[in-house]
Amino acid sequence: MDEVQEWVQRFDLKVERLHTHIGSGSDPQIWQRVASLSMDLVKKFPGAKSLNLGGGYKIGRMSHEKTTDLQQVGQPVKQAFEKLAHETGRRLHLEIEPGTWLLGNACCVLSTARDIVSTGPDGYQFIKSDTGMTEILRPSLYAAQHPISVISRSGETHTSQYVVVGHCCESGDLLTPDAQDSEKLAPRELIRAFPGDLLVIDGAGAYCASMSAKNYNSFPEAPEILLKADGSHRLIRRRQTLEQILENEIPA
């Protein structure tokens, strides 16, 4: 911080906004501590007018995961802003980044079970999907957990344990990793699946299409459909064509 302030003074800079990155945590005590630390930084720059408490708010994609309580985490931040205003007369503008909190559970990926493979009594049953890391990379990167449902064409109600994998030639193209280790297989209890059944992968509204392994193995970018409040739907992104994948390639 001493070095930053030295540069500000040397080059006569005006610091108008500070940005700290908290991460996507839901623990109110952590938010209170980081807000307090951020306020200490603001006090070192009297000209600062706004503070961005960056990073997202954790959402529970799985039923056992906790979603951030905005009232709970926001109260200590509000108090810190009010305290600064009372002590110094400075009324800071607060900026937050709630994109994931708003949209994470607003979207899903629809795919098809292409094949069902068993590796024997001591192995696993695999559902091989026609989607994977090309559309949803979070499980491979973070061991992230996403709800997965099988929509049976035959009305099947019995369940079985499955490992769900994608269509890429990668051992990491795994949709059901262990929550602690993205390289470990973690079977899920799902409706008994058969080739052609629909798979629904929920919680795909953030950090999925925007950071997928686009065009891996030359798979085209998937289309996107908007479901409106009245139940109608419309196409908002077309499926990518092979010509579009290759259009920037220059023959030698």
What's the helix, strand, coil split of the chain in %, to 5?
Answer: 25, 25, 50
Q: Locate 212 and state its tokens.
A: 């997928």
Quick one: which of 88, 19, 16 has its CA closest to 8?
Answer: 16
Quick one: which of 233, 203, 220 has its CA closest to 130?
Answer: 220
Cβ 200 vs Cβ 110: under 8 Å: yes
List the beta bridge partners of residue 201.
109, 148
Catalytic annotation present for 107: no
Q: Any residues with CB less than 8 A from the CB of 159 and at least 6 apart, and which?
A: 189, 190, 191, 192
Catalytic residue among 107, 108, 168, 169: 169
Catalytic residues: 169
